[in-house]
Every structure is written in C-alpha cells, then in structure tokens.
Structure 1
Amino acid sequence: MQSFRAHHVFRISGLLFLATLTGANVQAADGTLVVKSEPDECYNGLGEPYQPYLGEGSCGEGSIAKRNQTYGWALTSHGTDLWIGTGANVSCLGATAGAIFSGEIPSFEAAPNCLDGGGPCLTVCEGPESQFLYERFPLPVPLIERLADSFLGIIGDWRPPEVWVHDTSSGVANQERIAIDDTSLQSTLGLRGAGAHDGVVLMGGPTITGIGLQMFAFDADTKEFIGSRTYLRYSNVRRFVSYRNDLYLGVQKTGGGGAVLRWTGNRSDPFDFVTVGEIDNEVAYLAVYEHRLVASTWVPSPLSSAAGLLGANEPSPPGIWMSPRIPFYGLRAWHADRWRKVWDLSDYEPDPVIAASGGIGDLHQFGGCLYFGTMHPPYVSYQAITAAYGDSVDDPDEAMTKSRRTLAIFRSCDLASWLKSPTFEVLYGEDQLPVFSPGDGEWQDTETGMGPPRYGRSGFQNDFGEPLFENLIQIYTWSMGILDGQLCVGTQENAHSLTGGAALNGGDLWCFPDNWSPAYLANGEGLGNTGNSGFRNIERVGDSLYVATSNGENINDGNQIPMLPAGGFEVIRVDEIVPSEPE
C-alpha cells in the first residue's frame, strides 16, 4: 500500500520554487489583504514542548514562530462587520486521519535543519508526537504508549479555534479577536459554519471526538459572547443561509443522514432550532434557488466527521436536494419530508464505489440556473475502492491514480419545474472515467452518464486536450459568489498528493461572465499568496467579495523565501473582476 507521507516538515526545492513563481496564469482579480493569521506559538522541533509567542522577536534561537490558525473555516457578516471562525492545522488533521483510517501508521520526520537555517521549511505536522496535545490532555501512561493511540494521533495538531471580526467600513486591514470564556471551545475541532440573523451571530463546529456539534452565540452589535450549547444528535455544520426573515442551516446527524434546520431562537435564547428538511446524507452547502432551498450533500467519511459513520449503512451517493417552494412564513416542520433528491453523483460518475465516496460542493443561482460542483477529498476514493474490493486491488499505485478525480462543474436551468424532470448539463467534466472491475482486477475507461462537457475537462480545463497539471490538482468546488454580475468559483488545489510538496500556485478563482460563456481564470495564484491552497469561503459585503483562505504553511514566517508571504489563513477583499485570458 502506498505510504501517506504527508506528515512531516515540508521543504521547497529550487525546482519547485521556480514552478511556484513562474506560472503562466494572469492575475486579473485585484485582492486586498484585510485579515491575516497571527503567530501564536514558538515551534522548537518535532515533539518538543512549545513556548508561547509573546510578540516579534520572542521566539529565541532554535525556534520558529508558528501560526496554527490555518483555515478561515466559517464566514458570515452582520452590517459592515465580517465574522470569521477558524480551524487550526486542518490539513494536518485531515492527512493524519486519512492515513490512520486507511490502516497506515503516519510517518513524522524530524528536520533539525529547519531550526538551524537549513530550510526553508513551510509546514510542520506532528500528529501523536505533539506535546501540546499531551499537556492539554495528560494521560497516566508512558509516552511510547501515547504514540500508538490512534485517536490522539488524529487530533495531535489540533488547537482551539478562534473568532475574529473585521470592520469592512474602515477600508483598511484590521482584525479583532473575540474573547470566549467557555470550556466548550476547548473541545471543539474548529468553527466550520457561521450565520447571522436578528442581531445574533451563530458559529458551530464538530467536537474533537466527532460526536456532537458545538454551537456558539454572540451579540452581533456589541460582539459580546452570549453562550454555547452542545447537540449530541448532530455532529457537523458547514453552511447557513438567510432567506426573507429566516435563517437556515444544514447539519450532519450523529446517527446517520442529515437535516436542514430553521433557527427559531433570539438574543435571550439563541439555541432553538426546528427541523424543516430530512436529507439522506450530511448537508454540506445550502443556497436559495427560485424561492426554494437547495442542499448539496457529502457521504459519511472520516474527513467529513467520523460520527456520521455510526449510522452509515451503504450510504447513497451525494447529490442535490430541493425543498418545496418557501411560503411567506418560512419552512416549517411539516415541510421536512417534502424535499426531493433531484440529482446525485452516480448520474455522472460511472464507478458506483467512487460515486458513493465523493461530495458535492458549493452551489449558487446565476442567471436563472443553479451551478454546482464536486469535491474529492484526497485518498478517500482510493480508500473506498480498497475497502470494497480488498485483495482484488493488486496494484495500489494504479488504483491511487485511476480512482483520483478532479472537480467537475454542472448546472440546471429548469430545476424549479414540478411539471417535468429537471435537466442537468456538464460544463466541465469528462467523457470517460476509469471504472474498477473486481472480476479481473482491471480498470476500464467507461462513458460518464451525462454526455460530453460543454466547455472543457475537469478542473476548469478550457479545452479538450490532455489535462494540465494545474487542472488536475483542483479538487474542491469550495465557494461561490457573485461580483460585477459574474459568478465566481473558488477552488482548492491539492498538489501534495501528486508531488509530495506544498501548494504550487495557490487556489484558483474562476468566473462565469454569463450563462453562455465558459469560465475564465480570474486569479490562479492564491490571490497574492501562492501558499493559499484554496478559497474556503466567499461572503458578499457591500460591493465587494471577501474571500477566506486555507493556508497550511504554519511555520512560514514570510522571510524564508523571497516573495512568498507568511503562512496561516487570510481574508482578502476583491473589489473588481476583470475578464482576462491566460497568456
């Protein structure tokens, strides 16, 4: 089995650095950095105790400033305030979980030259060797036994999440960290979803055990922390959406499946919800389409939330669900069983095992059509194939390559019609995909189920030739937003699974100018920071888009490589989208 060696200090060779700086993409979206992750620890070496970061110059000789908050995982707005919920070292957590759940023992390599000037080093993952973890959760067992504990290994790089607020009315970079005196934060994996309504900001995320959903409430005007509540019947939340006078959110249920909830709380009692939609899988994203809610789903996965596996029994493929038309008084409990599944990934993906292991990403109404795309967590489809067919998979390297998928983009322009079945179109995808045959252990190129793509191949390949490497590594349809009358799609790249290196040119921002033209590359360089591997969230405030990024370069202080900014998540304001073509 191929080793998952994603858990070490990453270094960039001269060749890879050259590729990072000489990409042929034209930056056509001007971004302004308004929020930046801050150092919070001093890294002293693999498995060594941490020192607190007390300000510039506080990390002594032989240590490096570390920025643990690497994901702008949740984003919402109230008035001119932008609220950000963070996730710490999320790529480390995901890579470690993927390895452990596949039966691998992660490899953690010490790299002393990172501390004596021999780098440059950008990212460190410590897994079960993290001293922070054992200081926070002391165990009466020898260290060698701790290292063998799979659960502690998965959360080894975890740190408590944070809540930040950016005042967009100032027009300049600023950030305020909100004080949260609550023990629940100390057991929250990260803040993965956020919404604001009636003067209350809600943020939620899974517990570090994967069982239970933590919800936190704040006064949107005073920024005062109101309180928290744990819901054991839920285990994840990703997206909130407001419509008319209601706030809705999608969750994963601990016992399996998902639900759409309507918030029925207020400032005095902010933790009341009612179920208005019953969904077959975890609800990932929500959007409004023609006075209805539409939800995209994920199947249970350790990289989603392990608790969903408790009730999973041959889950159906991820797909798109749609509510009935929303009445003026909003969706109610009696609407919960009136949702319908209008599309799923098996309509396109010919391999049934891979179809049941993927996910559907963000979705948005644009020009009367619903646009949406796929998400393919690294290694998950490979793990699904090997779990399903066992010894029939006799060539792991081939299975890793053949099972890999790149994001595809779809749309439907008649989804709201109840008089006929809706039609769907592939905008970016494949004519054929490899399908595994357990009888002979071979992979066969098989036609996809929706016909040829209109504009190009998967990963926004704007032609039908051999896919470029830049397109192969675009794995997540992570976020969408509209600016200047154009629909812009933020992606995440995963160069590491193909190269063993860090991010190359950063996440992409692709924009559809209208309903009859292909998308163009507005920015292919992480909006000014090539370490920004993806654009996790997009929020419209006023006439600007605010883009929250992922950036796992937690020990990149911005001084190791010329022209490469410091690591940690960012929020970038985009004021204008200018159509442009790559050179």
Structure 2
Amino acid sequence: MATERLTERTADITSASPADANLLNTTAGLRSAAAHQGVVLLAGPSVIGGVNVFAFDGVTGRYLGSTNLSAYENIRHWVVAGGALYAGVGVGVNGGEAGKVLRWTGDRTTPFTFTEVADLPTQVADLTEHQGRLYVSTWPKAIVEGSVAPSPVTMVAPADSGTPLAPPPADDPNDLASIWMSPLLAVGAPGLNPEDAGNWTQVWSAAEYEPDPVVRRAYALGGLASFGGRLYWGTMHVPLQATALHVSVYPPRSQAQLQATVQNTQRAFAVFRGQNLGGAHERIETLYGESTLPAFDPTANNGVGAWAPAPTGVTPVYGGSGFGDPFNLYAWKMAVAGGRLYIGTMDFAYISLEGQLPTPPAAGATTPPTFGSDLWAFDAPDRPARAVDTGGFGNPLNQGVRTMIVDGSTLYVGMANPMNLRTDPTPGVPKGGWELIRVSRR
C-alpha cells in the first residue's frame, strides 16, 4: 500500500502444480477473501462442484497451496470474531439447499482445516459480530445471486381457464431470508464449536415485513453490521426473480395481468435495525422501507385475483425503500469505519432503463434516479443516512458496491461492473470492468 503497486500473483498458483492450476482454472470467481494469523485465504465456487480455496503467507507472500471443499457450493464473506475466523457457506446446488458457518482452525502449515459451527436451513450471505455473538444474514432456498429471471415478454400468459386460483403453499419461515443469532461466544469453550451448530436462533425473517407470501420467498439479505449498540441489516432483490416466482404460482390470464404482476412484484431494498434481539425487550425498527406494499389476493374478482396495497405493519423511521430510489435493489454490503456506518448499494437503473433516464423521474421516486451505485453513511445512530456518492464514484457503469474493507477511517470499496464491452480508451469516458476505490474522510 505504501508504494501503491499492484502485482499479479496468478502464476504463483498456476506454476505450483497441475492440480493447483486446475483448481484455479475451474474457479468461477474469487468472490471471498480473509486474512488471519498470518494466512491469506481466497475462495470461490468451483464450476465443477465445491468451493476452491487458495492460501498465501500474509508475511512473506509465499503461496501455501489450494484445496477443494466438496461439501459446500457457495461462499461470500468471512469475519474475525473473538479472535477466531469464520466463513459462511451454502450447501447443495448453487448453495440453495442449506447453510453452514465454518470456523477456520488452520495455520501456515495446515491452512485448510475447518470445523462446522452452525447448521442453518438456508445459505449464509454475510456475517458480523454484535454484542458477543455472531449474526448472519441468509438467502432463501433456491434463489441464486447474480441470476436474472426471464424477461416478462417470455412469460406467455395462458388463456383464462375459468378455474379460481388456489392460495400459495404455506410459508416455512426457516426457508425465508433471515437473520440468525449464535450462542454467546464466551460460553463454554472459547468461540463457536461443533456443539454450537444446532443452537442458533432465528431472530427475523422476511415474513415480518413483506405482506405478499410469494414475493417474500424471493427476498434475500445482504450486508449487516453492528453500530451504536444495534444490529443493522438490509434486503436484496434479484431483478425479476419475484416476478418469475409469482408467475409460476399464479399464471397470469391476460397480458394486463402479466404487466400488473411485473409492476407489483418489484421491490427496492429496505434497511432495518434491532436491539435486544431474541430477548424479552427486543425492538426492531424499519429505517428505510414502506408502510404498505402490493399484495396479491387470489380470491378477488371471483377467483381471478387482483393486486391491492397491504400493510407491512411498520412505519419507516427515515424514508422510503432504496433511500428513495426505486432502482436501488441491493443493500449489498455494510461496514463501520471512522465511527460511521456505510451502506453500499446495487443500482439497476442503467440496465433496466437501457442507458436512458426517464423524463420525468419514474413514478413513485422520491429522488430522481441516477446511474451507478450509491454509498450512504449513518454518521450517528440517531441520524438519517446521508449520501456519500450516488453515481458509481464517477463511473455510471459501476452497478454495485459489492464489498468493502476497513482500514481505520478509510474504506476500500470493490465495485461490481458488468459492462465489460465498454472499453473506450478515451480519458474520462466511463468504462466497464470492476474498479477498486479508496474512500477517505477529508
């Protein structure tokens, strides 16, 4: 960092052995990283099964080897809590069948030893330490990050059969996007251990906010953080996933019904915070969200069904979903730096609007939509969030703040930017491809 020099280390892996090279070449992406006790771990899902992990010596930079964790299928984030390193993973196809929390028990000599310390019904998205416990956010069963549902024009609306619609299957709250709380880290043996795997508590699920029983099954959760004695978390909404799920449960009987489904299943992210979670004096607040959301009633119109506003049961403390921008779909990552809580978003406006901003702003927007992801900050627990940047840090093709690393009051922000064909070499022209941004307080 002192010399600001970037050195590619790919050859350290590919030249180590054919097995190491094969593992790297079959890694879909190194989406997950951690550093602890002198070891750097890089991990990502394999295209042929399992999770591939690579290790480096954090002091000398020497490559230590690689392995495939065949029991898991997805990995996103790590956290150091109580002096131990933990990672969240998924199990089954694309990680969509269940979740685990792994405790790293390795060292420089044996960098690939782990033990399972949580057995959860859904895959883990993010982790944080809060008041002596580990908390995780999860994704629902069988929803895959990064996938986009078919375009509505491919959802052919069947003819009206005249048969009344049936209610959807009853929710299993364990299958929904949730916040789970670990046992106290200080109870029993230090940290979390295998005997703690079955003792986690679900303290919140999407059913506590979203009134539509089908749409809530497409909710996912993103970043979470401990700030000011409270736990903060936010939702994520993969574009058109809720629409595709709703169409599969309630096939529209006309083009008008299909368009109504598309319109009423879209959600911007909501932000929540909680105190005394799981206790007698638990308090959960919706900081940014809605007091009503569209919900489908399959019994309306003599069994044809109709959408209508339904109460969420909450009154947002500060404002509307997505910080007032309907294209802000993910509260992707949270981090505390310099006494502030930062929230990075995924903004779908550029792709959704095909690079053309609407005039006037989209209906329901409290602020005009912009291209490029946002970074917002809570300067204190009793203040609303303020915008740090709403335009992808000068590049409107930067769709999302996917990850953040804290160094004192400085943030290193990893951007998601899928517009890789935008390669205009002209200086100052927005370009595709991910960027690494340093955000420092003045």
Residue 198 of structure 2 is aligned with which of 322, 332, 337?
Answer: 337
Change in Cα spacing, 1:425 to 1:543, as seen in structure 2 (3 Å) is closer
Residue matched to 1:348 = 209
Residue matched to 2:293 = 433
- Maintained 8 Å contact 1:490/1:534: yes
Please state whether the residue corresponding to 1:390 is helix, strand or coil.
coil
Residue matched to 2:315 = 452
Matches of 2:137 and 2:123, distance apart in 1:
8
Residue 265 of structure 2 is aligned with which of 394, 403, 422?
Answer: 403
Change in Cα spacing, 1:336 to 1:305, as seen in structure 2 (3 Å) is farther
Residue 433 of structure 2 is aligned with which of 564, 568, 571?
Answer: 568
- Maintained 8 Å contact 1:239/1:286: yes
Residue matched to 2:240 = 379
Matches of 1:191 and 1:423, distance apart in 2:
37
Residue matched to 2:44 = 205
TM normalised by structure 1 equals 0.63
**What is the deviation of 1:551?**
1.4
- Maintained 8 Å contact 1:240/1:247: yes
Matches of 1:262 and 1:198, distance apart in 2:
13
Residue matched to 1:423 = 283
After TM superposition, list the pairs within 5 Å mapping 1:136-535 onto structure 2. 168-170=1-3, 172=4, 174-179=5-10, 180-181=13-14, 182-209=21-48, 211-254=49-92, 256-301=97-142, 303-304=144-145, 316-327=175-186, 329-391=190-252, 395-415=257-277, 418=279, 420=280, 422-439=282-299, 440-449=304-313, 451-461=314-324, 471-496=325-350, 498-501=352-355, 504-535=370-401
Matched, 1:554 2:420: yes
- Maintained 8 Å contact 2:33/2:41: yes
Please state whether the residue corresponding to 2:136 is helix, strand or coil.
strand
AA of the residue aligned to 1:292 = R
AA of the residue aligned to 1:198 = Q
AA of the residue aligned to 1:169 = A
- Over residues 527-552 of structure 1, what are the superposed CA-to-partner deviations in whole Å (9 max), with x where a residue is unaligned? 22222111111101244111110112
Please state whether the residue corresponding to 1:411 is helix, strand or coil.
strand
- Over residues 244-270 of structure 1, what are the superposed CA-to-partner deviations in whole Å (9 max), with x where a residue is unaligned? 321000000127210111001111211
After TM superposition, list the pairs within 5 Å mapping 1:45-56 onto structure 2. none
**What is the deviation of 1:497?**
5.3
Matches of 2:23 and 2:413, distance apart in 1:
28
Matches of 1:305 and 1:507, distance apart in 2:
16
Matches of 1:436 and 1:228, distance apart in 2:
49
- Maintained 8 Å contact 1:475/1:491: yes
Two-structure CA RMSD over aligned residues (Å):
2.2
Matches of 2:397 and 2:91, distance apart in 1:
34
Aligned residues: 388
- Maintained 8 Å contact 2:252/2:258: no
Please state whether the residue corresponding to 1:527 is helix, strand or coil.
coil
TM normalised by structure 2 equals 0.83
AA of the residue aligned to 1:566 = K
- Maintained 8 Å contact 1:359/1:376: yes
- Maintained 8 Å contact 1:393/1:441: no
Task: For structure 1, list consecutive stretches of 5 or more residues without a partner in the other structure.
Answer: 1-167, 307-312, 462-470, 578-583
Matches of 1:319 and 1:497, distance apart in 2:
28
- Maintained 8 Å contact 1:505/1:530: yes
AA of the residue aligned to 2:298 = P
Please state whether the residue corresponding to 1:472 is helix, strand or coil.
coil
Residue matched to 2:159 = none
- Maintained 8 Å contact 1:212/1:254: no
Matches of 1:392 and 1:229, distance apart in 2:
51
AA of the residue aligned to 1:492 = M
Change in Cα spacing, 1:489 to 1:393, as seen in structure 2 (3 Å) is farther
Matches of 1:304 and 1:266, distance apart in 2:
31
Please state whether the residue corresponding to 1:387 is helix, strand or coil.
helix
Please state whether the residue corresponding to 2:323 is helix, strand or coil.
coil
Matches of 1:329 and 1:502, distance apart in 2:
55
Matches of 2:281 and 2:145, distance apart in 1:
31
Matches of 2:106 and 2:356, distance apart in 1:
43
Residue matched to 1:64 = none
Please state whether the residue corresponding to 1:453 is helix, strand or coil.
coil
Matches of 1:232 and 1:360, distance apart in 2:
25
**What is the deviation of 1:476?**
0.6
Matches of 1:414 and 1:361, distance apart in 2:
21
Residue matched to 1:41 = none
Change in Cα spacing, 1:370 to 1:247, as seen in structure 2 (3 Å) is same
Task: For structure 2, list consecutive stretches of 5 or more residues without a partner in the other structure.
Answer: 15-20, 148-170, 358-369
Matches of 1:404 and 1:355, distance apart in 2:
11
Matches of 2:356 and 2:347, distance apart in 1:
10
Please state whether the residue corresponding to 1:526 is helix, strand or coil.
coil
Please state whether the residue corresponding to 2:247 is helix, strand or coil.
helix
Q: Which moved more, 1:354-363 or 1:178-187?
A: 178-187
Please state whether the residue corresponding to 2:2 is helix, strand or coil.
helix
Matches of 2:106 and 2:225, distance apart in 1:
27
Change in Cα spacing, 1:391 to 1:505, as seen in structure 2 (3 Å) is closer
- Maintained 8 Å contact 1:378/1:497: no
Matches of 1:429 and 1:514, distance apart in 2:
19
Please state whether the residue corresponding to 2:251 is helix, strand or coil.
helix
Change in Cα spacing, 1:223 to 1:235, as seen in structure 2 (3 Å) is same
Which protein has greater RCO, CA pairs closer than 8 Å, 6+ apart?
Answer: 1
- Over residues 138-171 of structure 1, what are the superposed CA-to-partner deviations in whole Å (9 max), with x where a residue is unaligned? xxxxxxxxxxxxxxxxxxxxxxxxxxxxxx233x
